[in-house]
Amino acid sequence: MITELPKDVTLDGELFGGRGEFQTTAGIVKTMGLKGWKNITFQILDVPSMGNEPFEGRLQSLQENFGQGGKYHSKEFVVVDQTSAESYHVFDMFKEVEAHGEEGLMLRKPGSKYEGRRSSTLLKIKPFFDAEAEVTGYVPGKGKHTGSTDALKCKMASGKAFAVGSGLSDRQRARPPKVGTIIVYRFQELTKDGVPSASFQYSLSLGVRTGAPTFVGEAADEIVAKDADVPASKKV
């Protein structure tokens, strides 16, 4: 996909294999040479190599180079459509994309420069689900977490097992919730196997980036696990 790209351009975006194809896409991008690559497109969001230019200028350059009729236009590279909106339109737009089973919205401040980190000029709005699970054990820590807990082994009400480590403080890792404790965790989607996950992204500059369920806290008033009611569009 990248052999014909200009060498002096860095692109920021996500590999996309179709709605509800998270696991399939993740498997394909981790393996070179699979025929499945023919069904993958790279959805271009920005061009970091022009980071000092205002967003509108960067978007125009992307359209001129990768859009219809552009020098590098191909079916594998798609410049994501951008829509101007007032703040009072955002909630309506969010409900619309959520109804279509899409991941969420990205809000870019007009005239903003590119920043390769969390920034107040780029906000992401995504739906999340909260659920409760029972702690069944612990994943030992490594590296900076050696001697403490890396993640909590958990069981959903459905009986599915998963681990959650994101969101744990150093204090909680040192003294994690006891086995049998019901915890609250947050996630974005369920895999086809019914296990909670977050988002999947792939950047030409950063490689694969995957999210994970997040620990919220102990469920003091719950004695049994309770799964979230997740629509079919959020089962990937």
Q: Give the tens place of pLDDT for each residue, 49-68.
A: 999 999 999 999 999 999 98
Pull the structure tokens for residue 8: 């002096």
pLDDT of residue 234: 64
Whole-number pLDDT of residue 229:
84
Whether pLDDT at 201 is above 60: no
Statement: residue 19 has pLDDT above 80: no
What is the span of the domain harbouring residue 212?
129-230
Per-residue DSSP letter, 56: H
149-192 pLDDT, tens digit each: 999 999 999 999 999 999 999 999 999 999 999 999 999 888 88
What are the structure tokens assigned to 134, written together?
Answer: 């029972």
Mean pLDDT lowest among 112-116, 124-128, 154-158, 206-210: 206-210
Structural domains in the chain (count): 2
What is the rounded distance in angstroms from the CA atom of residue 152 to the CA atom of residue 139? Answer: 6
**Residue 101 and residue 169 in one domain:** no
- Among candidate residues 125, 156, 191, the one where a domain is terminated: 125
Residues 114 and 161 in one domain: no
Residue 179's Cα: distance from chain center in Å?
29
| pTM of the model as a whole | 0.62
Q: 180: alpha, beta or left, given left = phi > 0 and alpha = psi -120 to 50?
A: left
The answer to whether the beta carbons of residues 108 and 44 sit under 8 Å apart is no
Residue range 109-127: mean pLDDT, rounded: 88
Q: Which residues pair with 129 in a beta bridge?
A: 187
